[in-house]
Amino acid sequence: MRTGILIIGSLLWDNCQREAWRRSRLHVDRKLHVKAPICYGRRSQSRGNTFTMTLTGDASGTAVLVPCVSAIVSVAGLVAEAAALWGAERATERSSSIGASWGSVGVLLATTVPAEWRAGWAAYFRSHASPLPPVDDAGTLRITWPVATVERRPANVDIILATATKAEATRPTATEISDAWVDQNDGHERYFFENIRHGIRTPDDRVIWKRIEDRKPCWLRDGTYAEAIALLRAETA
């Protein structure tokens, strides 16, 4: 079964254990930008209480679908791919884990996937993770099948894996999101600009950027973000 990972943030560009995971398990050079319901919806303590992506929000967001190197030929293979994804998310988790209190791996299965695989995945999920929107109690992602942004066609895979993280009880505003980055000086704004640079987008990006530019934080002069800033300025011109 053809398999892809739906990526909505730093899994695509962050290093450490994620670089090794991408190199060994993904065809990053074949990535496809797809429409997905994403927003900056989760406040992250590890990123200075700034906001990170969640699988909630407007379906006109753009995520990245990356094909897996290996085809999946059994439920065990599906579980192994999910565990590898979770390991890239959180290296401290035990290898059999696919979820925690703050998030979990979920799966989208095409009609080509055998019914026994669905049952096997659901049983594994229930013993190793807990439902967390938009992942239900069978480990299924309750989102629409991603459609390519350019070709306007459904992603040509049989299985899609993604990590869902726990969103804030009240969806943050664009002002709250931008101010969280502006009011820190520890480099956490990199999350926003790297997402922009890699084509991971939300409908709020232009408003977030306008607020950042208006407030003129000192790190805005960092040449590291020149590519993303040029793109944002062109969009808002």
pLDDT interval class at 236 (50, 70, 90): confident
d(CA 71, CA 81): 10
Q: What is the pLDDT of residues 14-65, one digit of tens each?
A: 987 799 999 999 999 999 999 999 999 999 999 999 999 999 977 889 999 9
Buried b / exposed e across 135-160, counting CB within 10 Å, b at 16+?
A: beeebbbebeebeebeeeeebebbbb
Place of tokens 């990006």: 205
Whole-structure pTM value: 0.95
d(CA 237, CA 218): 22
- Cis ω for the linkage preceding 154 (within 30 of 0): no
d(CA 230, CA 100): 38
Decide: 58 and 15 in contact? Cβ < 8 Å: no
Place of tokens 């995971």: 21
Decide: 201 and 57 in contact? Cβ < 8 Å: no
CB atoms within 10 A of CB 233: 11
Q: Report helix, strand or coil for 199.
A: coil
Question: For position 97, what pLDDT does the model report?
Answer: 85
Q: What is the DSSP letter of 12?
A: G
Among 42, 103, 63, residue whose Cα is nearest residue 201: 63
Residues listed for the chain = 237
